[in-house]
Amino acid sequence: MTLTQLRYLIAIADSGLNITLAAERVHATQPGLSKQLKQLEEELGFSLFTRRGKSLEAITAAGAQVIERARIIQSEAANIRALAANLRNEAQGELRIATTHTQARYALPSAIAGLRKRYPEVGVHLQPGGDAEILDLLERGQTDLAVVSTAGTPPPAGLALPVYRWDRIALVPRGHALTKIGRAPTLADLSAHALVSYESSLKPESSLRRAFDEAGLPLRLAFTARDADLIRTYVGAGLGVGVLAEMALDESDRDVVGLDLDGLLPSCTTWIVLRRDRVLREYALEFIARFAPHIDRRDVRRAFDHGIATDDWPVPPRWRDLDLARLAA
Amino acid sequence: MTLTQLRYLIAIADSGLNITLAAERVHATQPGLSKQLKQLEEELGFSLFTRRGKSLEAITAAGAQVIERARIIQSEAANIRALAANLRNEAQGELRIATTHTQARYALPSAIAGLRKRYPEVGVHLQPGGDAEILDLLERGQTDLAVVSTAGTPPPAGLALPVYRWDRIALVPRGHALTKIGRAPTLADLSAHALVSYESSLKPESSLRRAFDEAGLPLRLAFTARDADLIRTYVGAGLGVGVLAEMALDESDRDVVGLDLDGLLPSCTTWIVLRRDRVLREYALEFIARFAPHIDRRDVRRAFDHGIATDDWPVPPRWRDLDLARLAA
DNA sequence: CGCGTTTACGTCGTTCGTAACGATA
DNA sequence: TATCGTTACGAACGACGTAAACGCG
């Protein structure tokens, strides 16, 4: 058993059992992988895969167990290399950030721009998805850090650092009835209209849905998307009243106007979520320091080593109080 | 970076930085280890050890981090091999059990004898120590399972399976004053004598000490040892009244006699403690099934996979109700 | 016949052990 | 001078890539 064999094994599993594809991904030849796989199976004394003819058909139960452990080994080997790269002050590398569209579009650009200024050789890869997918990516170790938002408690997995708080606003076409009532809309006001909001509102545990349920009001969703820009567009097209993150408000928009909801819905917190068992490259800490400047870098280190309870983190600033220009500097 | 390099690295660290000794332990030559170590350091780009002249002097901070990860890698590699050996129904192997003297001497023999009957090719290695040492061995992955006792809650680390409950008894020379009071001794009775008990009674959190503290009585320890046989011997020699596990009572002993303490001290539970992240060989499960026959083997598996709360385990039988002969069958 | 896997083979790099050398207490 | 680590060298092994054969749809 060698690290190479385990790497090949994982590549094969992650390439849908296509050895040729896996070989390309690890920059090796297909016969090489075939042979190493065979040797590994021989050493272990059982088949990692079932075969139909010559092709791999499925992962055996035992194979799945082995792959699981192999991933841990690979991840720890990567940790050692990351450790080494940090000590050498390597300025090259990659940063994979799994996040939602709203964060990627409105919150992250300045911090990422700042990061790239300090580390021009670091490639940043955004991995968009829904909250569950994002945390799943983190869980499976396929991303370096996740940026997600919750309306209440922090996400259960990993080490969560609070970044900023934000509220939702209502978005209506200019001249819409709701702009004329002279006060912030109530849930009853909203309930009178079809709503346009995030895909996540479809889930029964969404905070929007819960607010309506608790008020005993019906929630009609005319349109949902993950993408705040789409929501804005469709509000402009008159599909209904938008409910979306304040970050997505564009003051210069001629067609639509945002309305404060004044505490109608619970505030949200955006978190950076990390895996405690993963060594971060220096530039990842740099990103965190820029995106969440109110958190002391040493506290992050300490949280990694000893585990800080979530309550011990400082209350994060509100979105509207953030100095985005400073993050990018 | 190879698995071999990491194995050598760990061997060096565990041999007190003596490469020659480490080489013997891994069945390789000293120059081989030297060279691999150098190559690893070269690849990582920093020193794992500080050197005085040619000798290794200390582990660097970064080196400690690497070793920590290397241990995880080694442990997972061992897990894969264990997985494979189980599938092949290998009947050979080793079982390392870290435990206290009392368990090793009185509780384990029948279960181990039974295990050896079923698996004659398995070498069993008892690693004696105090409770803290034992759990430390488990923590550091240097033992397969730990057998420890507590007077209350289960040990905090790992997966704890309750095996049996037991009480402490008093041990006095024949004809001792306490044999003539015609009732079970009270704490006050005991307090009148110097006691002979386990080394662990020296610790302020020991349940014996706590019982005396709570009763406001002084505890005088004339003699302590880890070894119940020694305690018995010194009670026979008249050093004082013994307080020890009922398992250690030897009815055929001519010199001393045991006295029931009748709930004077809290009951103890003996636990098997496992690491959830360690794959056990089939014979280890066999040992568990023999030592704790009231626990369903499948529940152990399930606890490994999903994590069962400690409260969900069945209440273990009392020591005196155990059928030791059956365990050995 | 294309796609993907296995087999065969030659080359190259690496590991490992032996032996000699060097440094330290 | 004994102990422990490094350097040097040769033999053996193993990994890898190229090329060809094989099976399956």
- Residue B157: pLDDT band with limits 50, 70, 90: confident
Mean pLDDT of A31-53: 90
**Residue with CA nearest C1' of nucleotide D14:** A36
- Residue A207: pLDDT band with limits 50, 70, 90: very high
Domains of chain A: 3-85 (1.10.10.10), 93-162+269-328 (3.40.190.10), 168-260 (3.40.190.10)
List the beta bridge partners of residue B242.
B171, B196
Residues in contact with strand D, defined as Cβ under 7 Å from any of its atoms: A 2, 4, 27-29, 31-32, 35-36, 39, 52-54; B 17-20, 30-31, 34-35, 37-38, 51, 54-56
- Residue A3: pLDDT band with limits 50, 70, 90: very high
> CA B281 to CA B96: how far, in whole Å?
11
Judged against a pLDDT cut of 90, whether residue A149 lies above it is answered with yes
Lowest mean pLDDT among A96-110, B47-61, B82-96, B178-192: B47-61
CA distance B128 to chain A (A): 30
If one counts every other C-beta atom within 10 angstroms of the C-beta of residue A298, the result is: 8
Mean pLDDT of B272-294: 94
- Residue B310: pLDDT band with limits 50, 70, 90: low
- Residue A329: pLDDT band with limits 50, 70, 90: confident
List the beta bridge partners of residue A56.
A51
Judged against a pLDDT cut of 90, whether residue B95 lies above it is answered with yes
Q: Going by C-beta distance under 8 Å and a sequence separation of 6 or more, which residues neighbour residue B128?
A: B98, B99, B100, B101, B104, B226
> CA A212 to CA B163: how far, in whole Å?
52
Which percentage of chain B shows pLDDT scores above 90? 80
Mean pLDDT of B255-267: 93
- Residue A199: pLDDT band with limits 50, 70, 90: very high
Nucleotide nearest residue A51, measured CA to C1': C5
pLDDT of residue A148: 96
Q: Under a CB-based contact definition with an 8 Å cutoff, are residues A197 and A243 in contact?
A: yes
Which percentage of chain A shows pLDDT scores above 70? 98
- Residue A56: pLDDT band with limits 50, 70, 90: confident
End-to-end CA distance of chain B: 48
Interface residue B132 vs chain A (CB under 8 A): no
Cβ within 8 Å, pair A72-B76: yes
Per-window interface: A 38-67 vs B, CB < 8 A: 43-46, 62, 65-66
The rounded mean pLDDT for chain A is 92
Q: Under a CB-based contact definition with an 8 Å cutoff, are residues A179 and A259 in contact?
A: yes
pLDDT of residue B308: 67
Per-residue pLDDT tens for B103-152? 999 999 999 999 999 999 999 999 999 999 999 999 988 999 999 999 98
Q: Which one is predicted more confidently, B231 or A310?
A: B231
Alpha carbon A278 to its chain's center: 16
pLDDT of residue A157: 82
- Residue B306: pLDDT band with limits 50, 70, 90: confident
pLDDT of residue B140: 87
Short-list A278, A280, A285, A295, CA closest to A161: A295
Per-residue pLDDT tens for A279-291? 999 999 999 999 9
Alpha carbon A302 to its chain's center: 23
> CA A326 to CA B315: how far, in whole Å?
61
pLDDT of residue A309: 64
What is the pTM for the complete model shown? 0.86
- Residue B153: pLDDT band with limits 50, 70, 90: confident
> CA B252 to CA A277: how far, in whole Å?
55
Judged against a pLDDT cut of 90, whether residue B319 lies above it is answered with yes
The separation, in Å, between residue A16 CA and nucleotide C7 C1' comes to 24
Which percentage of chain A shows pLDDT scores above 90? 77
Judged against a pLDDT cut of 70, whether residue B311 lies above it is answered with no
Lowest mean pLDDT among A242-256, B90-104, B110-124, B307-321: B307-321
Judged against a pLDDT cut of 70, whether residue B309 lies above it is answered with no
Structure tokens of B121? 């090719």
Judged against a pLDDT cut of 80, whether residue B22 lies above it is answered with yes
- Report the chain A residue with the minimal C-alpha distance to residue B67: A80
Task: Give the amino acid at B204.
Answer: P
pLDDT of residue A208: 95
The rounded mean pLDDT for chain B is 92
- Residue A241: pLDDT band with limits 50, 70, 90: very high
Judged against a pLDDT cut of 70, whether residue B80 lies above it is answered with yes
Using CA atoms, how far residue A317 sits from A10, A291, A293, A313, in Å, is 42, 11, 10, 12
Q: Going by C-beta distance under 8 Å and a sequence separation of 6 or more, which residues neighbour residue B25?
A: B11, B14, B15
pLDDT of residue A130: 92
3-state secondary structure chain A: CCHHHHHHHHHHHHCCCCHHHHHHHCCCCHHHHHHHHHHHHHHHCCCCEEEECCEEEEECHHHHHHHHHHHHHHHHHHHHHHHHHHHCCCCCEEEEEEECHHHHHHHHHHHHHHHHHHCCCEEEEEEECCHHHHHHHHHCCCCCEEEEEECCCCCCCCEEEEEEEECEEEEEECCCHHHHCCCCCCHHHHHCCCEEEEHHHHCCCCHHHHHHHHHCCCCCEEEEECCHHHHHHHHHCCCCEEEEEHHHCCCCCCCEEEEECCCCCCCEEEEEEECCCCCCCHHHHHHHHHHCCCCCHHHHHHHHHHCCCHHHCCCCCEHHHCCHHHHHC
> CA A62 to CA A148: how far, in whole Å?
35
Judged against a pLDDT cut of 70, whether residue A192 lies above it is answered with yes
Short-list A172, A140, A145, CA closest to A160: A145
Mean pLDDT of A157-181: 93
Alpha carbon A280 to its chain's center: 16
The separation, in Å, between residue B4 CA and nucleotide C14 C1' comes to 13
- Residue B200: pLDDT band with limits 50, 70, 90: very high
Tell me which chain A residues have a C-beta less than 8 angstroms from the C-beta of B44. Answer: 80-81, 83-84, 87
> CA A102 to CA A99: how far, in whole Å?
8
End-to-end CA distance of chain A: 48
